[in-house]
Structure formats: structure tokens, C-alpha cells
Amino acid sequence: MNLQFAAEGADATRALGARLANALRMSAAAMAMPMLVTLSGDLGAGKTTFVAGLLEALGHVGPVRSPTYTLIEPYRVDDRDLYHCDLYRLRHPDELDDLGLRDLRRPGSLLLVEWPERAEGRLGAPDMAIEFEYAGDTARALVFEARSPAGSDVLAHLSAAS
């Protein structure tokens, strides 16, 4: 299942992240099992802005920092572990083992990974993949693709709320 959205500017990108947060909350599967969501697109395409909207809608209070240099920014909201990861600075996929991302996949956790292609398949199959593309100076096209039954359930909730 695929869904496509257009976002004109940072506020619209943040709002789309919030809409995904609401769909995640409505999905029993997404709340019970570990969810892996990958975010792909060029530098500056809005991935971190999207994640900020998602985390804020899930209840995070405070800044959402880009994990470009830290590689992983952990958050805890309502007894749920949320991880925002950025693999852009990986020099080699073997470095992924040192990050311990596989250990972060616990029931109810949400792992949001920017630049998943740097892992060269070592993350495992994502539940959902989101592609960010430039569609003008401030406009973005986002394509959501479900890649697991849990991802399909989340996208069904997202589609119903559209």
C-alpha cells in the first residue's frame, strides 16, 4: 500500500508528521510491536522537520534535535521508547553494529531512521518507508510505502483520516 502527500513548507511537513503520529496511535499493531520507519531523501528535504512534528504529536515536549552528529537521539513518551537515527555520517555499514540499533527494537518502540540506504540492508525490513522529494523551492512530495502488515495498518488509519 502506498500513499502520496504534498507538503508546502516546513509547517505542512511538520503537520504531516503529526498526522502519521495519530495513525500510529490508532494502530494496535504499531503500539504493541517494534516499528521501523525509514526516511529517505536529499539533504534538506524535510526529514527531521517531519520527525519533529511526529514526536511533538506523540507528546514529546522540548526541542527535537537532528541526530546528524550524535547518530541517535532517544526520546521517551508515555512509557514508549522513540529513537530518531541519522545514518548519513556512517563511513561503512559495519559501524551499524556499534550503534546497537537492533537492540532498540523492543515491543512498542518506534525507530525512525534517516538515510537507511547507508546501512546497506543491515537494518532489516522496515514496516514503512517514506521518500521525501523536492517538488519546488519549499514544496515536498512524500510517498509512504507500507512494507509489513503493521505498516499497512498504520497507512490504512492515515488514509482514513485524510
Residues counted in the chain: 162
pTM score > 0.85 for this model? Answer: yes
For 35, the grid coordinates are 516499528
Residue 112 pLDDT: 95
For 39, the grid coordinates are 526516511
Q: To which CATH superfamily is domain 2-160 assigned? A: P-loop containing nucleotide triphosphate hydrolases (3.40.50.300)
Residue 80 φ/ψ, nearest 5 degrees:
-115, 135
For 42, the grid coordinates are 536529499
Break the chain into its structural domains and give their ranges.
Answer: 2-160
Give, to the nearest 10 degrees, the angle between helix 149-160 and helix 10-26: 120
Helix (H, G, I), strand (E, B) or coil at 89: coil
d(CA 77, CA 86): 20
- Position 94 confidence tier, pLDDT thresholds 50, 70, 90: confident
DSSP 79: T
Report which of 126, 80, 118, 78 is spatially closest to residue 99, judged by C-alpha positions: 118
| pLDDT tens per residue, range 27-71 | 887 788 899 999 999 888 899 999 999 999 999 998 888 887 788
| DSSP H or E stretch at residue 38 | strand 35-41
- Position 157 confidence tier, pLDDT thresholds 50, 70, 90: very high
| pLDDT tens per residue, range 22-35 | 999 998 877 888 99
CA 6 to chain centre: 17
